Amino acid sequence: MGKSYLKRALRGSAAVALLVATLVGVGDAAQAAALRDKWCSKVHIRFFVGGAEGDAFGTIVYNGAKQAAADTGAQVDYVFSGWVNEKMVQQLREAVAAHPDGIAMMGHPGEAAVVPLAQEAAKSGIKMMYQNVPVPAAVDKVGGGYIGAQQAPQGHALGVEIVRRFGLKKDDVAIVLGGFDDNIRGAREESTAKAMEEAGVKVVRLFAPPEWAADPNLAIPVITATLQANPKARAIVYPGGQELGNAATYMKAAGKKPGEVINVGFDTSPQIVEAFNGGWVQLTADQQPFQQGYLPILSLCEQIVYGLAPINVDTGAGYVTPENYKAVAGLATEGLR
C-alpha cells in the first residue's frame, strides 16, 4: 500500500468520523428539541368533572385531570355539575361561548342535548373529547374521542359475572338501580339486568335519578322500601361508586347483616374499600376514572399541539373483589382508584 493511498484513507476515515459525530450531535439536538417541557402550556381547556367537589367518583376523575394538567402544562378550568344533566348542558353552552381551545365533556346529558353544542363548538374550531358516558352521534358528526367504559358490554359482563360468582338461579330476585329513562346512560345497568334475566333471575328495576350520585343518602327510603317489598332479593346492583360506597347505610336501614344481600356496582373509592372491609360489598366493576380525567386532557393537547387523532380508550378494566381489593386499597384512599 502506497503512502499517498494511506494518507487519503486516513483523511477519509477522519471525514467519516466527523460526519458521524456531527450526525449524532444533530440527532441529540433534535431529540432534545422533541422532548418539550410543559409542551401544552399555551392550550386552554375546560374540563367537566361531572359531580360536585368532593364527590367520590368525581374526585378521582378530577385528580386524573389535575395530573394531566401538571404533566402537560395545559391551562385547565374545571367544571363541577353535581351530576345534574340540565346544569351540564348550560355549562357546556357557556364553555362553547368562552371559546377555549378544547372541551372535555361528560356525556350524561345525552346526544339530543350535546350534539347541537358540539356542532357549534366545531364551527368555532374547538376540539372536544367525551368521558364516562359516550356520545356516539357527536363523534360521528363532528369528531372527537371517548375515554370510558363501553356501557352496554361492561354492564352485560357484570350481570354474567354476578350469576356465575354468586350462583344465582332461576327465580332468584335481584334489584338493579339505573337511569333507565336514558338509553345511553342507562345502557350499562339495563344490560346488567338483561344478562341476569337471561339466566332466569327475576330483576326488579329501580330508577336512580342523578341526584342520588350527588347525595347517596337520598336513596335510603327508596332502597329500603324496595328491599322490604322483595324480602327474598339476593343481590342489589348500584349504578355508581357513590351509591355502592353507601351500601352499609342502606343495608343497616333495611335491617340486613353484612353479606345477607349481595351488594354489587361500579368503581372503587375509599368508601367502597371500607365497605369491602366490613363485608358489605362483594363485587365491583372497575372503570378507572383516573384515566377518564387524565386521557381527555392528554388527547386534546395532542390534537391541538401536534395535530394527532383523538384517543379512544375502553377503561373497563375488570373486577375488584373481596380477594383482591387490598391491592388497590391504598390508591383508592388517595383518590386515585
User: How far, in Å, CA of 325 to CA of 328, rounded?
Assistant: 6
Q: Cell 395545559 belongs to which residue? A: 74
For the chain, which domains are there?
A: 44-149+289-316 (3.40.50.2300), 151-286 (3.40.50.2300)
Cβ-in-10-Å burial (0-12, 13-18, 19+) of 97 comes to exposed
pTM: 0.85
Per-residue pLDDT of the chain (337 residues; tens, 9 = 90+): 555 544 554 455 555 555 555 555 655 655 656 688 999 999 999 999 999 998 889 999 999 999 999 999 999 999 999 999 999 999 999 999 999 999 999 999 999 999 999 999 999 999 999 999 999 999 999 999 999 999 999 999 999 999 999 999 999 999 999 999 877 778 999 999 999 999 999 999 999 998 898 899 999 999 999 999 999 999 999 998 999 999 999 999 999 999 999 999 999 999 999 999 999 999 999 999 999 999 999 999 999 999 999 999 999 979 999 999 999 999 998 999 8
Report DSSP letters for 170-226, one per residue. TT-EEEEEE-TT-TTTTHHHHHHHHHHHHTT-EEEEEE--THHHH-GGGGHHHHHHH
